[in-house]
Amino acid sequence: MKRYLSPSSQRGRGIVGLVLELARAETIKNLRLPMFVVSTLVFPAMLFILFGLPNSSITLPSGTKVGNLLIASFSAYGLLGVSIFSFGVAIAVERGQGWLKLLRATPMPAWSYFLAKIIVVIIFNILVVLVMFAVGYFLAAVRMPTWQWLKLAMVLILGALPFSTLGFALGYWASPNSASPLANLIYLPLSFASGLFIPLSQLPKIVQNFAPYLPTYHYGQLVWQVAGKAEDVAVLLGPASGNTWTHISYLAATFIIFAILAIIGFKRDENKNYS
């Protein structure tokens, strides 16, 4: 840990090296925590096996297998968990442990901590996608051309990044004790109400009407458009609200709004500790 905190290391390697070293240390730390690995990598795959696998072989009218859409849904759910739950709660816990105060006393700029966290989020997003794709391919016989697998992975990973700022905001506004329950209150309702678990067409009308205002709904629409044909998505999930640019705009707005909230929370925490 001392390697990326010492001034001599900073002079020798530069800020980029420090950020990468912090991200490397964070990644190794998380991989050594069994509960983190289980909740982040294993749990989404287990949910797919329990709830998605029995219906994955059904073929929709235009030829798309339901498994294609379900693997996209549960992958999106897993990536949301990385940003909102795993890292949002982790930031709140680190605040409570005084880790951020220690970093504040080092020569590292504050933004390097956030950048390192985003790198770690991307690393674990990639791992979740690889695990989910392997489960879909070998257990559910999900088949797509190589370009479609790659495009789906790209949309899943990039589309999940706006929720990293939601995690940062949660980490700075919630206390260490309340962060985990609050993350569940955000994470699970957003996933259910957006159709990631149950098709929107099967949810109450009030939820169907409210879903298009949720960023997770637009994230789901983007990944479903890649995983299957538009008409099949409409059959299973109901007609989409808005086009691709609408979905991207909602996610961009989510990134900006929660980034502002995270910065305000960071400044608030900084003033509380150092004013």
Binned at pLDDT 50, 70 and 90, residue 275 comes out as low
- Would you say 79 and 45 are in contact if contact means Cβ atoms under 8 Å apart? no
* Both tokens assigned to 220: 């789901």
Residue 4 is predicted with a pLDDT of 43
Please determine, for residue 11, whether its predicted confidence score (pLDDT) is greater than 80: no
pLDDT in tens, 93-105: 888 888 777 777 7
Residues 197-222: b if buried by 16+ CB within 10 A, e if exposed: bebbeebeeebbeebbebbbbbbbbb
pLDDT digits (tens, 9 = 90+) for 20-39: 998 999 999 999 999 889 99
**So where are the chain's domains?**
2-274
- pLDDT digits 0-9 by tens, 163-195: 999 999 999 999 988 998 999 999 999 999 999
pLDDT at residue 219, rounded to an integer: 96
pLDDT of residue 13: 58
* Residue 10's pLDDT band (cuts 50, 70, 90): very low
Q: pLDDT tens digits, residue range 243-254?
A: 899 999 999 999
Residue reference for tokens 């730390």:
29
Please give the Cα distance from 218 to 121 (Å, whole number): 20
